[in-house]
A and B are shown apart, each in its own frame.
Chain A
């Protein structure tokens, strides 16, 4: 009965980005939950790029921990900045194939060794009866298909998306092994870095995104692409979108940028190649009605009527169709997946309540970023808003809400 209802079309793109992020976070929380109970006793501290300077031990004083964590975060962000600039330089001089092969290699490494070790610990934990030959064979096949799917055109988009989420899960599950203070400080530092790298003039990600869009190429990084699948956009959606799109489809690419980097860092068990972006304006049309004050919608209508005459609209519709063929969607860097999930995974080590609060905060931050994207129309960092909200909600929940809720609920009082 609601066949023609607009409720079904609005927000499709947002959900297209949010659902993989949610899946990623959910699986990371499950992994952290099932593994943390066993490994808490014999947890070996890893020395990785994120805690090069200082290893946290529970006996240290708060100030030592804070100082060490700050140093760790500084070193980590510096490393990432260096690597990102290296990436930009390589891309600038058109070492594109080198970058692609390098990223394929990193994907192979991450899926094979890190994913394999996570699989092993899961197998140990659940006592799954499997012999080593089968396991190696399965892992090898899984890895190879993943490597193939990273940059190829012929692979179904769903497979590509699944592998992106898998990569995010694996890296995030590794990151959750960092000590607590370092995790929080690194997350905040990364959010700040992201802000600078994408928005500041001369920021490495800004350069990278602009370069890629001026060359009209794919970004040489691991990016999740929420490309709407063809079946759902067949039928009557095209013309409607064409109207929505008026004013935006002159091909300027809108990137939701995030941090990118992480070449040699991958070896240390982290990998941060990520750039997100949105191309094509269809997203804007879809989001704009979500903006509650209604200004933007009207503004858009006005804008479109200003700069367009009748023929232009037709032209745009054609452009739109081309765009659909190219199939551009919202792009979200893999690093966003990773660090969102790290935050949630870290929250999972405390309690389920904090997990849920952080999840909501991150998702709403992502929603805010997407709405901002519709307004600003250029690459935006996806980490800052979400991470800020996530951290704030984590501590609010932990310090304020938990005693309140536990106090009332254990008295069986609810409202």
Chain B
């Protein structure tokens, strides 16, 4: 029962990502490599951020503004990294196309490009879920559970798993949106990812208030659903366009 609970939390956070991985990513070795490298990038960004903030932690104050600054800097840093990631990907795409010409295979399809973006986003999402949720799940395999004072109705592990689920979704699909935005020069899509990321980060600030998680988490999931729907519509539009062009 205890192990079952731990596995359940893990699957709650990572289940969708796992099925996405098995269904789309795992058949193509290159996508697996993309997932791994993007996870590594995210991990390094987290390490850099924690090095920056190490001196100020743990925050003793109950005030919310230091946390706001923390989230603001983190989101800004990670969004900067996303642009870097895009530039690297752009170079990689040229190399891949050159390679495809050499082996007389078709160049990257539009679906391939979106899959690479999806793999990159999935890496970010999985890394987020692993470090913010799975990394803390170890005690949940033991006999007890843990409640945070501010959110006393739901076990801590359950809360963090649901939040991690929302963030994994946001990270995964906002990467697809951002990449297509950069490619088409679409300003709305370019700004969509940072804005959504920032909103989601700020929404977790509600958890600092007593009982705030009852409001914050549903809102967070709304943001995740908005991202998902936006990404789905965008992908649909691009697919229709590319089909009509053929």
Contacts and interface: CB of A to CB of B under 8 A. Distances in A.
Q: Do A and B bind each other?
A: yes
Interface of A: 1-2, 4-12, 14-15, 18, 240, 243-244, 288-294, 297, 301, 351-353, 356-357, 360-361, 363-364, 367, 393, 396-397, 400-401, 403-415
A346 to B, nearest CB: 16
Contact of B50 (A291, A293, A361, A404): A404
A412 B103 contact: no
B54 A403 contact: yes
Instruction: Report whether over half of chain A's contact residues are helix, strand or loop; otherwise say mixed.
Output: helix
A409 B67 contact: no
B234 interface: no
Given A6-B96, A412-B207, A301 B102 contact: yes
19 contacts: A5-B108, A5-B109, A8-B27, A10-B29, A11-B29, A14-B33, A243-B103, A297-B98, A352-B135, A353-B131, A357-B43, A360-B40, A396-B47, A403-B50, A411-B208, A414-B132, A414-B201, A415-B75, A415-B167
Contacts of A412: 148, 150-151, 156, 159-160, 163, 204, 207-208, 213
B53 A404 contact: yes
Interface stretch (B87-95, B175-183, B185-193, B225-233): B87-95
A406 B43 CA distance: 15
A405 B46 contact: yes
B39 interface: yes
B245 interface: no
Residue in A5, A9, A240, A412 with the greatest tally of chain B CB atoms within 10 Å: A412
Interface string B150-163: 11000010011001
A356 B134 contact: yes
Instruction: Report whether over half of chain B's contact residues are helix, strand or loop; otherwise say mixed.
Output: helix
Contact of B99 (A18, A297, A393): A297
Contact of B92 (A8, A292, A396, A409): A292
Given A14-B33, A364-B40, A294 B201 contact: no
Contact of A292 (B88, B105, B197): B88
B164 A405 contact: no
Contacts of A11: 29-30, 32-33
Nearest to A240: B103
B111 interface: yes
A207 B30 CA distance: 35
A289 B105 contact: no
Nearest to A363: B36
A11 B26 CA distance: 12
Contacts of B95: 289, 291-292, 294, 297
Interface residues of B, number: 75
Interface of B: 27-33, 36-37, 39-40, 43, 46-47, 49-51, 53-54, 57-59, 67, 70-71, 74-75, 78, 88, 91-92, 94-96, 98-100, 102-106, 108-109, 111-112, 115-116, 128, 130-138, 148, 150-151, 156, 159-160, 163-164, 167, 197, 200-201, 204-205, 207-208, 213
A289 B96 contact: yes
A7 B112 contact: yes
Contact of A8 (B28, B94, B102): B28
A409 B132 contact: yes
Given A289-B95, A364-B40, A404-B57, A415 B200 contact: yes
A244 B103 contact: yes
A294 B33 contact: no
A289 B202 CA distance: 40
A415 B102 contact: no
B3 to A, nearest CB: 10
Given A289-B99, A412-B207, A415-B197, 16 more contacts: A15-B32, A244-B102, A244-B103, A288-B99, A289-B98, A351-B135, A352-B138, A360-B43, A364-B37, A393-B47, A401-B50, A405-B46, A409-B160, A414-B163, A414-B204, A415-B74
Contact of B135 (A4, A12, A405): A405
A58 to B, nearest CB: 22
A93 B148 CA distance: 69
Contacts of A393: 43, 47
Contacts of A18: 32
Nearest to B115: A7
B151 A353 contact: no
Residue in B36, B74, B98, B104 with the greatest tally of chain A CB atoms within 10 Å: B36
A409 B204 CA distance: 10
A364 B131 CA distance: 18
B197 to A, nearest CB: 7
Nearest to A405: B131
Nearest to B50: A404
Contacts of A357: 43
Contact of B91 (A6, A294, A360, A400): A294
A415 B71 contact: yes
Contact of A15 (B29, B102, B156): B29
A21 to B, nearest CB: 12
A18 B40 CA distance: 15
A292 B92 CA distance: 6
Nearest to B130: A356
Contacts of A14: 29, 33
B131 A356 contact: yes
A407 B31 contact: no
Contacts of B49: 404
B74 A409 contact: no
Q: Which 4 interchain pairs have the tightest Cβ spacing? A: A404-B50, A353-B135, A412-B207, A415-B201
Given A7-B115, A294-B98, A397 B47 contact: yes
Contacts of B135: 351-353, 356, 405
Given A15-B33, A243-B102, A407-B59, A400 B137 contact: no
Given A6-B105, A414-B164, A401 B37 contact: no
Contacts of A289: 95-96, 98-99
Contacts of B160: 409, 412, 414
Contacts of A364: 36-37, 40
